[in-house]
Structures are given as C-alpha cells and as structure tokens.
Chains A and B, each alone.
Chain A
Amino acid sequence: MRLTEFFDRGEFVVTAEVGPPKGFHIEHLVEEANEFLKGRVHAVNVTDNQSSVMRLGSLATCKVLKDNGLNTIFQVTCRDRNRIALQSDILSAALLGIDNLLLLTGDHTTLGDHPQAKPVFDLDSVSLTHAVKRMEEGFDIAGNAIDGEFPKFSKGAVVSPCSDSVDAQLAKMEQKVKAGVEYFQTQGVYEPEKFIKFMDKAKQFGVPVQLGIIIPKNVGMVRYMNANVAGVHVPDDMIEELKADKEKTKAGITGVEISARIIKECKDYCQGVHIMALGWESKIPAILDQAGL
C-alpha cells in the first residue's frame, strides 16, 4: 500500500529500515521482520547497497518481504546504475507490486567495500524523482512513451534536519518537492530543538516528514557518528547517559529510552517516524510502546 494513503488519512506513519545481507539467504531477516515489524510499522525500507557495501539487492528483498505480507519501500540510489538501468528497475518494481520508493543520490563508492568501482551518478535524487514522475505520466526521461499501464508509486526522499548547512538542505528539499517527492524521511535526529526549528521552516512545503531515529547502541557508536556521519550530532549529555550504566546500555535499555524520548518530544511537529535499528530490529516494539505508538 502506498505510504501517501496513510499520510492522507492523517495517520502517524511508522517505518523501519532493514539491510539485506551479503549473501542470498534472508530467512533470518524475514523471521525478524515477521516477529518485530509486522503489525507495528506501516512499511519496511530496504536499503540499496547501504554505505556502498555490496549486498543482496533491495528489489528482490522487497519482493520476498511483500510475499510475507509486509508493505515495503524500495530504496534506490544513483551510485551504481545509469538512467537506463534505474528506469528499468523502477518498472520492475511496478511489476512486482512494490508501491513505495525512496530516491537517493547515494554515498560515494569510495566509502564502501569496493572503493575501486566506478561511481555512476548519471542522475541524482532530484533528477531521478523527475524521471519517476515522468514515467508515472507515461514517458521515460528521454521522452519515449511507456506501453500499457503507467507505474504509480509514493515517492520519498531524505533530508538532514540537523545538518550544519540546514539552509542548503532546505533549498534542496524544496527542489525535491518540486520534482515530485511526496514524503520525507530524515537523517537520525538526537537534538529535538534543532528538528523542531527545522520543521518550522519545512512545513511550508506541505509534504509529510518522518522523524529519523538511529537507535544509539553504545558510546563508541555515537562517537563514531559524531566524527564521521554527516548531519548527525549526539550531544554530550546523551553520551553521558549512555556511559552512566554500562549494563543497562549493553542490554539496549538506554538506547530504547533515548529513542522513545526523542520521538515523544518531536511527535507533534511531524507526520511520522522512521527507525534505523542497524541490527537492533528486536528493540523496535519497545521503542514504539514507550513512545505511545
């Protein structure tokens, strides 16, 4: 089901992200999705060779999850395919009954496990959105007619509300909306004040925004993110909180508490939440419970 239908109904839309393995057995992924996500989230994002690390494909994984009764979001990056392959995969997604897309530029190849690979970036998040919109209108990006029924998706994109160049992010967000983006998922937020300020400006675009949550697992992880992950900043008091009770943090209880607290503080300012558990999918139900979702 298309995510926009949930937003239109005024629901607080919950999504969670899963990453395919480096191999073709996904029994474990499916089991976890069935156990922890089914019935709790509106849709499951499947990442596309996340962080430029080669893995099982997003589209195939979406299909298997769909066959298991989960609504999915096919993440598509512009790093590995030119416009011909991208549009072809979008048509394949329509064939397989995938209703939602998340359209991204993608990390550079040098950040992953194949740094020698050719970075493609023939299109980017904006021109890819434009391409999908054209296809929905019956034409490919070169202007050739599409046969038969035109594909139709909910087209999503990402934005970084706590980025140090938030004004440039807002400008890009506006470009994405103009190109046809219908919902946004944000980068991980640890500073509710910044997010609320961002939403104050972003609401003018009239497009639903899902607050991004990355469950903080331990001090090492958040320090790493602070040093290396764009648009993510974990404040010192939160690092102290993770430090305070090592056992509690190790058991994931602190991470769940922090995540739920951020959701509660931001809930009234946005239209949904997107949880990036990075392997801690089992904690998602507890977060949603504590956040009252």
Chain B
Amino acid sequence: MLITQLKSKETIESLAKGKTFIVNCHGCKEVYFAEHEAEELQKELSETNDITQIVTTDYICHPDNLALQLKKHMDKIKDADTVIVFSCGVGIQTVAKYLDDKRVYSGCDTFPLPGFQGVTPLQVDCAQCGECYLNYTGGICPITSCSKSLVNGQCGGAKDGMCEVDKEMECGWERIYRKLEKLNKLDTLKYEPKVRNYWHPDAEQTDAE
C-alpha cells in the first residue's frame, strides 16, 4: 500500500510554467490519493496559471494503457510546455518515459504504507521514498535507477555508461544527465545538497485512512 501526498502549492505553482497539461491517476485501490485536495488545488491553479487541460484517468503505470488514455489528448499535450502528473512515482516515471521530449513533473510525493503495492509493471520502479525527486531528475527515479540511490549526482563509478555494481545496468545518473540534456534542463541539477529523510511521521499518521 502506498500513499501519495500533494507537494506544496508553491512548489506546484512554480512547476506549472507556460501551457500546462495535468494528468491525475485514480487507478488502483492500493494507492491512497488525495483526490479532493488535488481537485481543489488544480482549480486554484487554473485561476493563476495557464492550465490547458486536466485529464483524470487510471493505471497510467501500464505503458499500453497510458498510450491509449493519452491518445485523444495528444494535440494538447504536444502544444503544452509542461506536463504535471499527480500519481505515485511509477505513474509519473511511465509518463516521463512515454513523453520523452516533454518536461514532465510530479505533483506528489510517494510514501510507503504496510500492505500490497499497486499494479506495477516492471519497467520502472518507485521505492516510495517520501520526497519525490523526479522533478530534479527528468522523470527518472534516482532511488531505484542508481545502485546507491544517490540524490546528488553520479558517483564516478560508471564505466562506458554502465553502473559499477552491475555491468548490465545503465548508470541511472548518466540516464538522468542525458535526459535533462535533451530537455535542455541541465540547470535543474544545480540544487542545494539534498539529504534524504528516512523518517516519515506523516505516513504513519495517515495510516488510519
């Protein structure tokens, strides 16, 4: 079971640059999603920012389903400068991968709760780290795509683009760098040193939901 929590209004506002397309995922029962709060926030956002469309769908973590769901909106998506996804980490990564040349951002942080996980095909993975880093990393999860789960850039161990731990695995941070390069967003890597938080009291409190 996981829980997704909305990022702060200021954060989301700052992400919604230019024409913004929003995707909500109300897919699986295993994910607690703050539907009402998200709706409110997106309504407010529509007043201040240029939100071109809000699509609410399900199981965007499934690449084929995602392609099908987004098909009829592709014109608006192509036209948009930014896509913001409100879902668990897997959903966001799947969208970022599918819309490879778009700036795809996450509107949520994903925490773990005891119980089953949602329907997660094996293409991408989310470790429910509680502070989703995808907005800094071009939609590629540093926690699950880097063998050391580093959050401040690559370790220097990659050889020919492959991870020092597993020569069959591409270095996650090289992928992140190339992706940001492609999106012309390398500047997003210039953030203050990040320190992971392994203590998530919020997730415990909302257990009662």
Contact = CB atoms under 8 A, between A and B. Distances in A.
A127 B194 contact: yes
Nearest to B163: A108
Contacts of A131: 195
A228 B193 contact: no
A110 interface: yes
A178 B164 CA distance: 26
Given A108-B164, A122-B196, A171 B153 contact: yes
Nearest to B180: A171
A127 B195 contact: yes
B120 interface: no
Contacts of B174: 165, 168
Contacts of B181: 167
A127 B156 contact: no
Q: Give the interface centre of A163, A167, A230 by most chain B CB atoms within 10 Å.
A: A230
Nearest to B162: A230
Contacts of B153: 126, 168, 171-172, 175
Contacts of A187: 156
Given A126-B152, A165-B174, A167-B177, 19 more contacts: A107-B164, A108-B157, A124-B151, A126-B193, A127-B151, A127-B193, A127-B195, A130-B195, A131-B195, A164-B161, A165-B154, A165-B158, A165-B171, A167-B181, A175-B189, A178-B192, A228-B159, A230-B157, A230-B159
B196 to A, nearest CB: 7
B149 interface: yes
B168 interface: no
Closest 3 CB pairs of A and B: A126-B152, A130-B193, A172-B153
Q: How large is the interface on A (under 10, 10 to 19, 20 to 34, 35 or more residues)?
A: 35 or more
A82 to B, nearest CB: 9
B160 interface: yes
Interface of B: 147-161, 164-165, 171, 173-174, 177, 181, 186, 189-190, 192-196, 198
A231 interface: yes
Contact of B155 (A124, A129, A171): A124
A179 interface: yes
Interface string A162-186: 0111011101101100110000000
A165 B177 contact: yes
B144 to A, nearest CB: 14
Contacts of A59: none
A84 B180 CA distance: 33
B150 A171 contact: no
Q: Give the interface centre of B154, B161, B189 by most chain A CB atoms within 10 Å.
A: B154
10 contacts: A83-B195, A121-B150, A122-B196, A122-B198, A165-B158, A167-B177, A168-B154, A169-B154, A229-B159, A230-B159
Given A107-B157, A108-B157, A141-B195, A171 B151 contact: no
Contacts of A273: none
A111 interface: yes
Interface string A198-239: 000000000000000000000000000000111100000000
Interface in A142-162: 158-160
B16 to A, nearest CB: 26
A238 B157 CA distance: 24
Nearest to A171: B189
Contacts of B158: 163-165, 230
Contacts of B193: 126-127, 129-130, 175, 178-179
